[in-house]
Amino acid sequence: MMQYKGYSGRVEYDDDAEIFHGEVIGLRDVITFQGTTVEEIKQAFKESVDDYIDFCAQLGHAPEKPFTGKFMLRFSPDLHRKVYIAAKQSGESINSWVNEQLQHLTANVC
């Protein structure tokens, strides 16, 4: 996973075309990039992010930010009750308890 200015890029290699192509992930806006070498794809990723930020500025819009830290969940009433009880038994708020559980579950994710 490539990172630049808070944006994440995912890259795949097309063996038939012999080219790397990538996409900035975590946005509604579509930002793509490509290159034929690792150095080219890294540079193209950075240039695409910079171009996106510049384009948004020209339009007078704030660029979309990849992750705000806010995450809305919908639970069944029964699961909501169970999460509430588990959090209270741990002496935590639901938010803190869920955050801790997700940290544990994703500890091995890049």
**Domain extents for the chain?**
2-59, 71-110
DSSP-derived secondary structure for the chain: -EEETTEEEEEEEETTTTEEEEEEES-SS--EEEESSHHHHHHHHHHHHHHHHHHHHHHT-PPPPS--S-------HHHHHHHHHHHHHTT--HHHHHHHHHHHHTTT--
* pLDDT at site 100: 93
- pTM attached to this predicted model: 0.65
Summary mean pLDDT of the chain: 92
The model's pLDDT over 43-94, given as tens digits with 9 standing for 90+, comes to 999 999 999 999 999 999 999 987 777 778 898 999 999 999 999 999 999 9
109 pLDDT band, cuts 50/70/90, is confident
